[in-house]
Amino acid sequence: MNASKGCFTPDASRCLGLLQAAMQSVVSVAAGHWTAELRATSAPALDVRHVNGFLVLSGEPCPSTPPAGWDLLIAHANFAGLLKFCATPGGALSLRTEIPLEAGSNLACRLGQACRAFAAALNWPPDATSGPDPAAPEMALPDLAKLVEEAGWQSSSRRGDHCAVPLASRQGTHTALVTMREEMIRVYTELGSWESLTATSREALSALLLTANAELKLARASIVEDESGGVAQLEVLLQAPVGAAELRCALEALSVGADLCASVTDILQHEAAAKLFLAIRGGPRVREDSQQTTERRL
């Protein structure tokens, strides 16, 4: 069960102060809306907005970013600071991070993570940024099960370095793992797994997950592959210390994301379903097939 929300909303002046401390320059556009330039980069300014309890930072991917969505989802393994690739229904890409404005959260730390992640993502392939901030002090391992309980959730199993938490999904079959490694707390759930996939299924899954990244707050979809196959996951990665309110936000985000994506992830592993999905949504493979059909008719 979810705890009742103790939402905390810092005023715009506090958000502005945090941005000014972290960024090279900040320009106010409107109430709760700014543009901000990262330090020591020549990248275009980020768009920053205070939206529904989140500080949302977004920017353009670097020009060398590959158009293949599969590679972008794999690259998320190297991203810290909650950074993720997102896609509009039309396929336009952006980089985005959402920082929850919750009581007890270290907003300055989260914003620093985001800035490091954006700077690393300005190159392709991106620099590895999934580790902790090297300037951060060493932290004692938290009691993860206790933290889960303080967040208003119950763990179904627990060990010192991880615990399992049933998610509040409509299907009631999804479980999140809360783990800690190198002072990073990772909260994740599996959406689907496979031994092999066709190119069509890969394209359809990429479109689904990148679009879901644009719809979900805080959580991001990622792909992990090895010689035995692959798995699609939703994850939230936070540098310790992590407050109970932040963990609650993470578990809520995974619950929503599992309902949104898990069943469709399974369906799109079938070639016929993936083709139908792309035919309705559109995509590079659909446009290529349409062009070839037109050329044959001519």
- pLDDT tens for the chain, residues 1 to 298: 343 344 455 677 888 999 999 999 999 999 999 999 999 788 889 999 998 889 999 998 887 777 778 999 998 877 876 899 999 877 788 999 999 988 777 888 889 888 988 888 877 766 655 455 555 555 566 889 999 999 999 998 877 688 999 999 887 689 999 998 878 899 999 999 999 999 999 999 999 999 999 999 999 999 999 999 999 999 999 888 889 999 999 999 999 999 999 999 999 999 999 999 999 887 555 444 544 443 444 3
Q: What residues form DSSP beta bridges with 35?
A: 27, 47
Domains and CATH numbers, the chain: 12-297 (3.30.1460.10)
**Cα–Cα–Cα angle for 43, 45, 47, rounded to 5 degrees:** 135
DSSP SS3 for 98: strand
Q: What residues form DSSP beta bridges with 180?
A: 185
**Token pair of 218, please?**
């805080």
Scan for tokens 């035995």, then name that residue.
228
- The size of the chain, in residues, is 298
Q: Find out whether 5 and 13 touch, Cβ atoms under 8 Å.
A: no
DSSP state of 62: P
